[in-house]
A and B are shown apart, each in its own frame.
Chain A
Amino acid sequence: MGGRVVTVTSGKGGVGKTTTTANLGLALARLDKRVVVIDADIGLRNLDIVMGLENRIVYDLVDVVEGRAKVKQAMIKHKQFPDLYLIPAAQTRDKSAVSPADMVQLCNDLRKEFDFILIDSPAGIERGFRNAMAPADDILIVTNPEVSAVRDADRVIGLIEAENKGPARLILNRVKMDLVRKGDMLSADDVTDILAVKLIGIVPDDEAVVSASNSGTPVTLQDNSRSGQAFRNIARGCAARTYLSCSLMRKAGC
């Protein structure tokens, strides 16, 4: 039946799409899945940096689409996990260099050899978003517990529904439990109340995420990290192809 295409998107920028994609990619690789992550944020590539593969880029997504390189040539093997690959974005082109149909075709080729194809979507709802959306089997919406981020997530979920895609699943990133307890931050319940989609992960706000990403070794590789654990939980749902809702995970003691 072939691999599954999982697109990570958000509407708003800076909420943690790239962080989530990198961490899920690594966590899935640790579960012995064959994984390729695609950076669809053409012109603003950074998934390669977060995954520590920046200096190995020779060819990129646009080179593949325009026929200058074979898919295999553009795939960069991860240093630690031999079944994890990255297809980087082009830095010098813009999103119109790739079409939704290109992405569908590329993913259909990759499905044969990989269990999971993760796509890191750019911010916004324009061409880059549609490129990332077109091949998606699963759609993971990343948001923060902030009114503006939730508003944009809502808009994106509406667009996904209008295209008969989905169902969208939600990851709430950068939660500060102390603020939530004081009533100064939207809680997970507040957010799901508005968005009415399944919440499959709550990731705490954690400085270790930033330093881990800066050093190219995503936080999920740290076994004792809570944010890393949150990403591992999501990856397990992804691997099992049944995303557990957070309330269920809590019951299961994750």
Chain B
Amino acid sequence: MTDAKIDIKGVRDGLLILIDENSEWMSAVGELVEKLDKQAAFFAGAKLTINLGSRPVTRHGLSSLKAALDNRKLALSKIMSDSPTTTDAAESLDLRTGPASVAPESDDMGATQRYRTQPFDPNEDTVVGLLVPRTLRSGRSVRSDGHVVVLGDVNAGAEIIAAGDIVIWGVLRGTVHAGAIGDVTARVCALEMAPTQLRIADRYSIAPQDKGRWRRTRPEMARIEGDFIVVEPWQRTARKD
């Protein structure tokens, strides 16, 4: 049996398990079970979040995994997936679901409470930022307890919530919340700003309704100044502080 199909990480409230997208499903399940059995005492009672990437898994495939975990008194609490097939399968088994490219959530509290302030420590194994190498289309949601960088557009109907800054190398049309745990120095930058809603810490602003068909296409940066969110040209000299 080849290894490295399974990656198990301890997270705030349990285990985050990553199953390699390209491995054969039943043998991956077998390997996972074997790993869990090896350290049964350590894992006992843990809440599991399983990230399946974009692999499509049928309801049948998922329920056999769930059964194996149930037998070991492990609670499968959430499936992270970018495949609608998998997401629907998980939903039909009454599991919580979420996108795969997201930091695990610790609970069901409001988004702004979901993050702890963490000093950046390069030696610490935490998510400090997220690079999203594509356009985020409607319905997608990205959360990070660090910064988020998007190489593409953020379309209306998509959202980003980050404890840190949000930088978009494209058009921002969706909803973003930077400094989501209260960092008033957080910034939002985009090549073109046309957000549905833009929030920084506890302030929010709605893009002015463009009356004409004229569009501003210059890069802009939003940040908090005093009580307000200001938006100004994003250029080399514009720095934090």
Contacts and interface: CB of A to CB of B under 8 A. Distances in A.
Interface of A: 100, 125-127, 130, 147, 151-152, 154-155, 157-159, 161-164, 183, 193-194, 196
Contacts of A125: 84
A130 B138 contact: no
Interface in B132-180: 134-140, 153, 155-157, 171, 173
Q: Which of B134, B138, B153 has the most CB of A within 10 A?
A: B138
13 contacts: A130-B88, A151-B156, A152-B138, A154-B137, A154-B155, A155-B137, A155-B139, A158-B138, A162-B84, A183-B213, A194-B153, A194-B173, A196-B135
A164 B134 CA distance: 13
Given A155-B157, A196-B153, A163 B138 contact: no
A162 B134 CA distance: 11
Given A126-B88, A162-B54, A162-B84, 15 more contacts: A100-B85, A151-B157, A154-B157, A155-B137, A155-B138, A155-B157, A157-B137, A158-B136, A183-B212, A183-B213, A193-B171, A194-B153, A194-B155, A194-B173, A196-B135
A161 B54 CA distance: 10
Q: Which of A127, A159, A161, A162 has the most CB of B within 10 A?
A: A162
Nearest to A134: B85
B157 A164 contact: no
Nearest to B54: A162
A161 B137 CA distance: 10
Contact of B83 (A163, A193, A196): A163
B60 to A, nearest CB: 11
Given A151-B138, A155-B138, A155-B139, A162 B157 contact: no
B140 to A, nearest CB: 6
A67 to B, nearest CB: 21
A189 B88 CA distance: 34
Interface in B199-221: 212-213
Contacts of B88: 126-127, 130
B135 A159 contact: no
Q: Which of B83, B134, B139, B140 has the most CB of A within 10 A?
A: B139
B80 to A, nearest CB: 13
